[in-house]
Amino acid sequence: MSTKRIYGFTFLGVYMTASLGFSLKSAGIVLSCFGVGSILGSFVGGWLTDKFGSFKIQTMSLFFSIFLSDSAFFQII
């Protein structure tokens, strides 16, 4: 994990409460869901890699991340 990503996640709670107006409870719930999703994603990703192979899973992950990133971007605009 890059240093930039670690620092960005560290101050995400501060940004959510100070700039976006989230309550402490809401920011905690959002960050907890992110953590739980990361853990579950690791297990699912490992299982899929064992079943289908690492190259196929990494290729599909890259392919789907393009569409998910674009769809999230266009939802904001």
pLDDT in tens, 8-51: 677 888 888 999 999 999 999 988 998 898 899 899 999 999 99
Say what the pLDDT of residue 12 is. 86
Residue 68 is predicted with a pLDDT of 73
How far is the C-alpha of 54 from the C-alpha of 50, rounded, in Å? Answer: 7
Cα 64–Cα 39–Cα 1 angle in degrees, nearest 5: 75
Contact 57, 48 (CB under 8 A): yes
**Where does the pLDDT of residue 53 fall: very low under 50, low under 70, confident under 90, or very high at 90 and above?**
very high
> If you compute the radius of gyration of the chain from its CA atoms, what whole number of angstroms results?
16
Q: Whole-angstrom Cα distance, residue 46 to residue 41?
A: 8
Q: Is the model's pLDDT at 75 over the cut of 80?
A: no
What is the residue range of 52's domain? 3-76
Number of domains in the chain: 1
Residue 65 is predicted with a pLDDT of 80
